Amino acid sequence: MPVLKFDAESLEGIPKSSCCKLPSKTMEEIEHTCPQPRTTFTEPAAFADETSCQCKAPHERLTIAQARFGTPIDRPVRVYADGIFDLFHSGHARALMQAKNLFPNTYLLVGVCSDDLTHQYKGFTVMNEIERYDALRHCRYVDEVIRDAPWTLSPEFLEKHKIDFVAHDDIPYSSAGSDDVYKHIKDAGMFVPTQRTEGISTSDLITRIVRDYDVYARRNLQRGYTAKELNVSFINEKKYRFQNHVDKMKEKVKNVEEKSKEFVYKVEEKSHDLIQKWEEKSREFIGNFLELFGPDGTWKQVFQERGGRMLQALSPRQSPSSSPTRERSQSPTFQWPFTKTSPPSSPKVASASISSISDGEEDEN
């Protein structure tokens, strides 16, 4: 065997009978074959009755100083933690993490009490024993699960599983007619305390469910559970379903309000730009209107041009007196009734003159 050297400071607190006793020849031949802590987490932890410790080497109990120092080097320190572990939560996991990290090389055994024992001493559980066993197997800190663990730890149980220390919170646990079921473990120097996680416990979770029972009953009815499965009466079922419909309507109204607020907010953001664009378009429209129909607009010029063309059409210019056409013409010349040389001042006057001339010709005939 290799020779280990320790200084005086490292041996402080370790009994001389434990660290200076030389093993006999028989003990040297027997090696420890205790299960080692898990190194991979691809599979759940084993059950104790499936892979129990079959090590034949003498199992000497350690002191806390020895365990923390890292001795013995040929086997892990076997730490036991027990509980009900109903509705397994983060408080349970933290307690097991503390138990796992108590010593450098810890093999954590976790005992889980059966349904019959739990219902007898503590009360009804939400999860049955099989579900609670399986939940512990899938916790990364657990190396081995002991099913149907005892309520009070006996020397025979400790010897059977070769337990070095028991980890639990330091609050006295009164049950089964005892003020503290861990008192004899503490007296034997095998108790190592852990810290409870405040604000989370199985009782707290059940209290939340009971307090908000109506909410969870309505939720499960909505998810397809029957009233019989939820143990809900016919009247309560109708009430819960009506409340679910009311909640849906409220949710729809709330969504509409939120969308309306969002729309109004977007309109308010763009209102300035919209008003500015409207003003620009209004000015442009008014300018185009005035350009067409104003005092100096395009339409006035068009009307003036058309009026001038009509006047020219109604009053054509006379031919010059010296023109050859006039000299050759033997027909009488048309004379305006008002003046001999000037045309009428307006189309109405011209038409009146033409009518008077035609009347005179009829009289002569």
What's the rounded mean pLDDT across residues 241-270? 84
Quickly state the pLDDT bin for 324 (edges 50, 70, 90).
low
Fold of 46-199: Rossmann fold (3.40.50)
Q: How far apart are CA 60 and CA 324, in angstroms?
A: 159
Q: Which of 40-54, 82-96, 133-147, 342-356 has the lowest mean pLDDT?
A: 342-356
User: What's the pLDDT score for residue 21?
Assistant: 41
Amino acid of residue 61: R
Q: Which residues contact 47 (CB under 8 A, 6 or more apart)?
A: 133, 137, 144, 145, 146, 147
Give yes or no for residue 116 having a pLDDT over 80. Answer: yes
Backbone angles phi, psi at 194, to 5 degrees: -120, 170
Quickly state the pLDDT bin for 187 (edges 50, 70, 90).
very high
User: What's the pLDDT score for residue 9?
Assistant: 44
Q: How far apart are CA 225 and CA 239, in angstroms?
A: 15
Classified as helix, coil or strand, 120 is helix
Which among 138, 147, 67 is positioned nearest to 107, based on CA atoms? 67
Q: Which of 1-10, 61-70, 89-98, 314-323 has the lowest mean pLDDT?
A: 1-10
User: What's the pLDDT score for residue 173?
Assistant: 84
Ordered by start, the domain boundaries in the chain are 46-199, 203-298
Q: Which residues contact 234 (CB under 8 A, 6 or more apart)?
A: 227
Give yes or no for residue 40 having a pLDDT over 80. Answer: no
Q: How far apart are CA 18 and CA 76, in angstroms?
A: 17
Give yes or no for residue 10 having a pLDDT over 50. Answer: no
Residue scoring higher pLDDT (165 or 5)? 165
Residue 326 near residue 319, CB atoms below 8 Å: yes
User: What's the pLDDT score for residue 54?
Assistant: 66
Q: Bridge partners of 218? A: none
Helices (H), the chain: 16-19, 25-29, 64-69, 90-100, 115-121, 129-137, 155-160, 183-187, 202-211, 213-222, 227-230, 234-293, 298-314, 324-328, 347-364
Give yes or no for residue 170 having a pLDDT over 70. Answer: yes
Question: DSSP string covering 152-172, please?
Answer: S--HHHHHHTT--EEEEESS-
User: What's the pLDDT score for residue 62?
Assistant: 84
Residue 80: its H or E element: strand 77-83
Give yes or no for residue 118 having a pLDDT over 80. Answer: yes
Structure tokens at 96: 């097991």
Give yes or no for residue 157 having a pLDDT over 50. Answer: yes
Distances (CA, A) of 38 to 107, 165, 293: 8, 19, 97
